[in-house]
Structure 1
Amino acid sequence: MKNSFNVTIVGGGSTWTPGLLMSMCKMKDRFPIKKLVMYDIVEQRQAVIGEFAKVLLKEEYPGLEFSYTTNKEEAYKDVDFVFMQIRTGGYKMREQDEKVPLSLGVIGQETCGAGGFAYGLRSIRDMIEIVNDVRKHSKDAWILNYTNPAAIVAEALRRVFPEDKKILNICDQPVNLLRSYGRVLGMDSSKFEPVYFGLNHFGWFTNLYDDEGKDLLPKLKEVINERGFIPVDAEQRDKSWLDTYAMVQDMVKDFPDYLPNTYLQYYYYPDYKVAHLNPNYTRANEVMDGREKRVFDECRRVAEAGSAKDCHMVHNDAHGEFIVEVAESIAFNKGRIYIVIVENNGIISNIQDDAMVEVAAVLTSNGPRPLAVGTIGTFYKGLMESQLAYEKLAVDAYFEGSYEKALQALTLNRTIVSAKKAREVLDALIEANKGYWPEFK
């Protein structure tokens, strides 16, 4: 077993990268890194983060070999772990993902509905290329993927690389929720044992046990019903995220069985959400005017100052720490429980085996060992099967270049429903995504 590892961050120019770097420094004794490379195809963005990283790592991670590059061989040669967080088309295309559907009266959101469909079809090509590039230079590297929309990406990679057991798709939203539950209860969320089932951005916590085996879910639902719900890092969040977490109270009141993933609000209440989203100023604009500016300004300031000692980087601890914890559990065979995306194969007994489901799993050096969920109720099964059919048809549409499959996918999506509206949205998105999507027959 190795004592230290070579790691590559793909998407080095992401606003999430500084937080990830800070988490690596914080957790260096738990997951020691020998060599770290940042890789991005947009040199100018990455250079700002890269120069910040040089200063931070010199002070906080002495001895670490660090570089940033746009060269694939340099990025992927002799690497043990690849942390993936790409955004095909950047914020310019994210803005289209959100504004085009809203202009037509349906949900415009980064990963849900028509926006998620557009983003997913853009992501597939680049994700396949990256996996092939990694395997060319490091056939045994673990690829830990944050890239959204994770459900569509995971389904596409399952089809193209069915025998590759070292690709693991993950999402930090369940971890954000667990930490937020800890804040609500005044408890350490790292000691929680979650029971969870669903699809990515489409799931439910059915139980949440403390270290004595007591189920905390009844108490949590009671507190949320009485006082509402805020994220663990509420003081750092933009207004749209605070509104998103606040909707959990509505979902728990309407569907009290379980605690929902925050993204379910777009599927439960599509008309309400459309009415309360600004079609001219979406979350993409909020990010570009907010987190994007704050992160890059602080990176430039630190690089110019030559010290990160007084760094005031705004970042999401859960995002950075979760992927490092997953790598640690795999690298050192820790056998910890995390919520990850895996092929169903009977985990949820009344959902098809080839579904890419999001469930709790024990993570070892051999990868995830999912924990059985069993049979789920009719309401949740119906929701999941509809969403799953949408995801599979979306991936079919990509690989087959099929307009018909794309139309079927969007018609099934609960944020749209109407076939006439789905066609209108699809035609608009085809125009907006020229050069990114395959040509549909």
Structure 2
Amino acid sequence: MKLTVVGGGSTYTPELIDGFARLRDTLPIEELVLVDPAADRLDLVGGLARRIFAKQGHPGRITTTSDLDAGVQGADAVLLQLRVGGQAARERDETWPLECGCVGQETTGAGGLAKALRTVPVVLDIAERVRRTNPDAWIIDFTNPVGIVTRALLQAGHKAVGLCNVAIGFQRKFAALLGVAPGEVHLDHVGLNHLTWELGVRLGGPDGANVLPKLLAEHGDAVADDLHLPRQVLDRLGVVPSYYLRYYYAHDEVVRELGSKPSRAAEVAEMERRLLKMYGDPALDEKPELLAERGGAFYSEAAVDLAASLLGNGGSPVQVVNTYNNGTLPFLADDAVIEVQARVDASGAVPLAVPDLDPLYAGLIAHVTAYEDLALEAALRGGRDRVFRALLAHPLVGQYEHAEGLTDRLIAHNREHLAWA
């Protein structure tokens, strides 16, 4: 089995490598290729990756290359974890929206749109090159904004499934609070990428007893603290929103916070500097503890599980993924991409049935899906008017003066990445 990671020079990659090494019985990789245009980073990450495999006794071979076509040749699955424009672009995404009084964040709002515009054309080019060399390969997208990128891939006819670590993070956290094994916890996870709610927490399987009321009653303070939301919000909702919902439920508070401290991008850039220095130490043969602060917790375990299922090598039969709606949420078009539990096997992902949603959640899902429609159109076709329409449609923008100002700033800060600008 051959897997290729595009964006293999990411500081995330040792988390992925650690999972591949630990879970080699689930996903028996014979060859792992790390592809990245940044040769210096790739050398550091590739060296550590080989040492991790060696320490844990993994027999697989790890190679590195900056040649995308060579790297994806013959791959059974290609995992995308790239960041067009690097941390410098992320820094801009998190700062210029604040100038208009809007949330500055790299995956949602105006910053998320900028990332989508930079990313979709690049990902589609990569996917087309994968298809030319191996049309049977699965593409697993971890590149944000996952929902929009996955939809672009699916609409272009690629064998693609989107992956996010939010659900597996909640699963592990809830399992620890409940004192059970993670595999015992199943989530009624519903929504769009970075716009989800846990409507139920079930023990033993998708049809198990719902212990969410017990969880909130006994551990609501801990859950609320992790989400940076007041406990009474969780009690009134009776569900657990993704931490990304704070951008919607506490927009003005978040804008004030973001304007009063260094950006997350600046923190991550410094963390990456330290991590890359560690990765260059020939004595290091495990992922460093600092990597846990980088984000992406449990990403490797989710990726292994998904790849194993798609490649017919076992894996959990039910997983939270991003895939076509296909009637699951009746108020959305079939080709909307949603993030829900799905049955996953070698033929792809089929969403499980979802109960009727409270309008409080359905309305926001429909609203953000409409924005994603316009965002994808802007990413595929370009043009100032399309960017403006997408921004005006986003519930974190929604005012024409903000949309005008954000459109000008988005184009100015991303011109080098926009072929039409």
TMscore range, shorter length: over 0.9
**Does 2:229 match 1:247?**
yes
Q: What is the aligned partner in structure 2 of residue 235 from structure 1?
A: none
**Equivalence for 1:432:** 413
2:100 corresponding residue in structure 1: 104
Give the distance between the partners of 2:386 and 2:63, measured in 1 at CA: 43
Residue in structure 2 matched with residue 299 of structure 1 by the alignment? 279
2:113 to 110, 117, 136: 117
Q: What is the match of residue 300 of structure 2?
A: 320
Give yes or no for contact 2:24–2:58 (8 Å, CA) kept in 1.
no
Counterpart in 2 of 1:385?
A: 366
Tell me what 1:404 maps to. Answer: 385
Q: Indicate whether 1:136 and 2:112 are aligned.
A: no
* Counterparts of residues 256-275 of structure 1 (less than 5 Å): 256-275=237-256
Return the alpha-carbon distance in structure 2 between the equivalents of residues 217 and 310 of structure 1: 33
Q: Compared with structure 1, are the counterparts of its residues 222 and 122 closer, same or farther at alpha carbon in structure 2 (3 Å cutoff)?
A: same
* TM-score, reference length from structure 2: 0.93
SS of the equivalent of 2:365 reads helix
CA distance in 2, matches of 1:129, 1:381: 33
| Contact 2:171-2:182 within 8 A present in 1 as well | yes
> Is 1:285 aligned to residue 280 of structure 2?
no
* Match status 1:223 vs 2:218: yes
Moved over 6 A (4+): none
Contact 1:340 1:361 in 2 (8 A): yes
Equivalent residue, structure 1, for 2:324: 343
**Letter of the 1:118 counterpart:** A
Contact 1:398 1:438 in 2 (8 A): no
What are the Cα deviations for residues 234-268 of structure 1, in whole angstroms up to 9, with x where unaligned? Answer: xxxxxxxx5xx332746414x51321111011012
| Cα contact 2:81–2:143 (8 A) shared by 1 | yes
Residues 1:8 and 2:4 are matched in the alignment: yes
**TM-score if structure 1 supplies the norm length?**
0.89
Match of 1:276 in 2: 257
Change (3 A) 1:437 1:189: same
- Which whole-Å CA distance do the structure 1 matches of 2:188 and 2:59 have between them? 40
| Separation (CA, whole Å) in 2 of partners of 1:29 and 1:75 | 24
Segments of structure 1 that go 5 or more residues without pairing to the other structure are 231-241
Cα separation, 2, equivalents of 1:227 and 1:44: 41
2:324/2:336 contact within 8 Å kept: yes
Asked whether 1:31 is paired with 2:14, we answer: no
1:147 aligned onto 2:143? yes
SS of the residue 1:14 aligns to: coil
Query: 2:209 corresponds to which residue?
Result: 214
- 2 CA distance for matches of 1:392 and 1:327? 28
Displacement of 1:335 in angstroms is 5.2
Match of 2:60 among 49, 64, 75: 64
Residues 322, 337 of structure 2: 8 Å contact kept:
yes
Q: CA separation in 1, counterparts of 2:319 and 2:90?
A: 29
Deviation of residue 404 (structure 1)?
2.1
Deviations 1:113-159 (A, max 9, x none): 01101011111011001101111211111111100011221222233
Q: Percent identity?
A: 30
Shift of residue 293, structure 1, vs aligned partner: 3.0
